[in-house]
Amino acid sequence: MVGEEDAIRRARLVLSLRQDGIMDRRLLSAVERTDRTRYCPEAFAARAYEDRQIPIDCGQTMEPARRVAIMLSALEVGERHHVLEIGTGSGYATALLARSARRVVSLDRYRTLVEGARVALKKDGITNAEIVLGDGHHGWPSGAPFERIFVSAACDPVPAALIEELAPGGKLIAPIGGEENGAQTLVLFTRGADGLIESEPLGPAFAGRLGSGIARAL
């Protein structure tokens, strides 16, 4: 019964994302196949699909599933892409990336989160994601270049190492903002064939309306 209820919640989430204008089949399939309760603390499992942040270990939070999917849709992850994720957290976004891309390297500075994500991903049958304990500011030079880079933690500016590790034609998405007022803007960075970086603000990082036709209001 619990499995059926979770499947229904995932199907409703996919429907909601379609209504938001997300038509990326690989991403939608990943959302439908990924049991979010596997990555959620047991005490909050019943609220795993609610449109709210969920506290996890080390003072961190899981962003709502819908927000995560909308952010990932902007990256347009393909099946041949190598992806770098900065901020593993619960591992839920890692699972979605892994089911959309060829390979994922995910970095987190908290050992507890790294170990927890490894366990959850293994139970979920994910075999193409490497979870690394490390400082995301330095990226992962041994695996570079990456076609896609997903930064879940706010930064201002984006660490130079991450820009350097972005492949030609690659995309990086990150919430950019100052610490004083807490305002953050979701920004998409693209490296052109000439090596130059273009940036496109998509709107408030975790509230308001995303631009470029990506989705309706969060």
pLDDT one-digit tens code per residue, 167-202: 999 999 999 975 555 678 899 999 998 888 999 998
What pLDDT is attached to residue 5?
A: 82
Q: Which residues of the chain have pLDDT under 70?
A: 1-3, 178-182, 205-218
d(CA 77, CA 187): 16
- Write the single-letter amino acid at 137: H
The H helix count followed by the E strand count for the chain is: 6, 9
- Between the alpha carbon of residue 95 and those of residues 27, 92, 164, the distances in Å are 11, 5, 25
What is the rounded CA–CA span in Å between residue 65 and residue 146? Answer: 24
Quote the tokens at residue 3. Answer: 């499995």
* Every domain of the chain and the residues it spans: 2-204
CATH of domain 2-204: 3.40.50.150
Please classify residue 132 by burial: count the beta carbons closer than 10 Å to its beta carbon, then call 0-12 exposed, 13-18 middle and 19+ buried: middle
The mean pLDDT value of the chain amounts to 89
Rounded CA separation 92/108 (Å): 13
Residue type for position 150: F
Q: What is the pLDDT of residue 213?
A: 32
Per-residue model confidence (pLDDT) at position 215: 31
- Give the pLDDT confidence score for residue 203 in this predicted structure: 79
* Distance separating alpha carbons of residues 130 and 84, to the nearest angstrom: 10
